[in-house]
Amino acid sequence: MKLTQLLTIVLIMGLISSCSNAQGRQREIDNSSGATAHAEDSIILDEPDLENSVTLMQALQNRRSTRSFANEPIRKQDLSNMLWAAGGVNRDNGGRTVPLLGDIAIYVAMSTGVYHYQAKEHVLTRIISEDIRHQISEQETVKKSTSCFYLCN
């Protein structure tokens, strides 16, 4: 694995870890952010916040795993930023934010179902209408989290 690929993976894991600390309630996305808290076939995400001034080195320094989460829903902007960072489109030619994605798909499991991230449109599309989080892992942290991110190829 190339160093750039390894750094990209570490960075994404750090982003997911730091942003997912705001998980916990039954509602998936904070209503105050303009997102909807009930089941939808599609969730149109906010534009990613590109003004964040955290450097790569700061992100690496702050990266850590956690098993306890705040009792707050994930904000729509945080969800949008994490998905874009994990594999969004950042160039006119369709190029992605992560060079190693290729055929990898990103899914988000929530109480309202499982959603597939459509990078080009920056939209989540529901593909399963049931809550399967309790089937995904034996870890209580995963079962109780408001959203679980999965990358598959």
CATH number of this structure's domain 3-152, picked from the four choices 3.90.1300.10, 1.20.1250.20, 3.40.50.20, 3.40.109.10: 3.40.109.10
- What pLDDT does 53 receive? 81
Instruction: Please determine, for residue 123, whether its predicted confidence score (pLDDT) is greater than 80.
Output: yes
67: phi then psi, degrees, rounded to nearest 5: -120, 5
Distance, CA of 50 to CA of 90 (rounded, Å): 11
% residues pLDDT > 70 (the chain): 69
Distance, CA of 24 to CA of 62 (rounded, Å): 21
- What pLDDT does 128 receive? 94
- What pLDDT does 71 receive? 65
Q: Which helix (H) or strand (E) holds 57?
A: helix 56-62
Q: Where are the domains of the chain?
A: 3-152
- Tens digit of each residue's pLDDT (9 = 90 or more) over 35-88: 444 456 999 999 999 887 888 899 899 998 877 777 677 889 999 999 999 999
Distance, CA of 77 to CA of 33 (rounded, Å): 7
Q: Which residues of 16-46 are buried (b: 16+ CB within 10 A; e: fewer)?
A: bebbbbbbbbebbbbeeeebeeeebeebebb
Q: Report how far Cα 13 is from the mean position of its chain's Cα atoms.
A: 10
pLDDT band at 148 (very low <50, low <70, confident <90, very high): confident
- What pLDDT does 8 receive? 44
Instruction: Please determine, for residue 29, whether its predicted confidence score (pLDDT) is greater than 90.
Output: no
Calculate the average pLDDT of the chain: 75
- What pLDDT does 59 receive? 86
Distance, CA of 78 to CA of 47 (rounded, Å): 10
What is the amino acid identity at position 127? I
